Amino acid sequence: MGICITCICLLQLYSCIKPPHDFDPRDGNNVYNGCRVKQTINQQTVESAVITHNFVYNSSNDPESVSSDGVGTANPNLIFKYDGKGRLIEYSGIYPNGLFEFVHKYGYSHNRIVTDTQYVFGTYATLSGYFSKRYKYLSYDYLNRIVQDSEVYVFPAPSVNVINFSYDATGNLVNGKVYDTKLNPHRTNKIWMFIDRDYSVNNPVAANTYNSVGLPLTYTPAGPVFDLTFAYFYYYGSTQIIYDCK
């Protein structure tokens, strides 16, 4: 019954794009494109700073960049690059001095990303001097969600780590958190779902306010209870998410 209720509620949210009769809101290929994240404003409780992130999209409605007015470690500017087919081939976190925090290079099989080569801390122009390098091999379920991320570290020391992801019947990542019944911002773009390895339909923390389609607008929790890695901020203190809606 829970999944039926969730589907009915989300189909109402998706009504403006007239989903097909067999539409499944849990599917990683099904995106709510009525709104997209435009800006986030985060009041950092610990550092007592306000950090703003601005989002830029291309003509295909995929992200090109996320820029921050508080760039630093764990908060770089984000850059997205695509090939001639519009497929994501690079996702990077860059500093103004030409160094990078991370660079992801993607490989495809049948138009699905199956390999992710990641470099951490180095010089962006030459992709050199990096602190670490790993290969990640991705597996998906029948709903086009990543369910396994096999990491093979090749530098500085070889090791292997396998990360598994599972989802409950309502389409939310199983992580011990209690979800609301509203629309997760990750669902507004396949890139957000992919890079965060989070295809959850709902939000692991209830917002203070939501917009007319159920996307969270403001949070005022007491601690770091929910993060959006694609926006590179954590919900300390007060956070506002601003959308560009049709």
Instruction: Identify the pLDDT of residue 233.
Output: 59
Q: How far apart are CA 224 and CA 236, in angstroms?
A: 5
Query: Among residues of the chain, what percentage have pLDDT more than 90?
Result: 69
- Which string of b and e fits 120-155 if b means at least 16 CB within 10 Å? ebbebeeeeebeebbebebeebebbbbbebeeebee
Which pLDDT score is estimated for 9? 46
Euclidean distance between CA atoms 113 and 104, whole angstroms: 12
Residue 95: what pLDDT?
96
**Does the pLDDT at position 5 exceed 50?**
no
Distance CA 214, CA 183 (A): 5
The pair of three-digit structure tokens given for residue 28, joined into one six-digit string: 């990683």
Average pLDDT over residues 89-118: 97
Helix ranges (DSSP H) in 79-238: 190-196
Cβ-based neighbours of 78, under 8 Å, separated by 6 or more = 63, 65, 66, 67, 91, 92, 93, 94, 230, 232
Integer angstrom CA distances of residue 46 from 50, 52, 234, 241, 244: 11, 16, 11, 20, 29
Using the predicted structure, report yes or no on whether residue 237 has a pLDDT greater than 90: no
More confident residue, 136 or 208: 136
Would the CA dihedral through 57, 58, 63, 67 be positive or negative? negative
- By DSSP bridging, strand 63-68 and strand 77-82 are antiparallel
pLDDT(50) > 90: no
- pLDDT at 37 exceeding the cut of 60: yes
Q: For position 20, what pLDDT does the model report?
A: 55
Tens of pLDDT, residue by residue over 189-215, are 999 999 999 999 999 888 899 999 999
pTM to 2 decimal places: 0.88
Return the pLDDT at 47: 63
Q: What is the mean pLDDT of the chain?
A: 87
pLDDT range class, residue 11, cuts 50, 70, 90: very low
pLDDT of 134? 98
**What does the chain come to in residues?**
246
Q: Which pLDDT value is given to residue 12?
A: 46
Spatial separation of the C-alpha atoms in residues 114 and 107, rounded to whole Å: 6
Model confidence pLDDT, tens digit, residues 61-82: 999 999 998 898 888 999 999 9
Q: Which residue has the higher pLDDT, 34 or 23?
A: 34
Beta carbons within 8 Å of 222's beta carbon, 6+ residues apart:
none
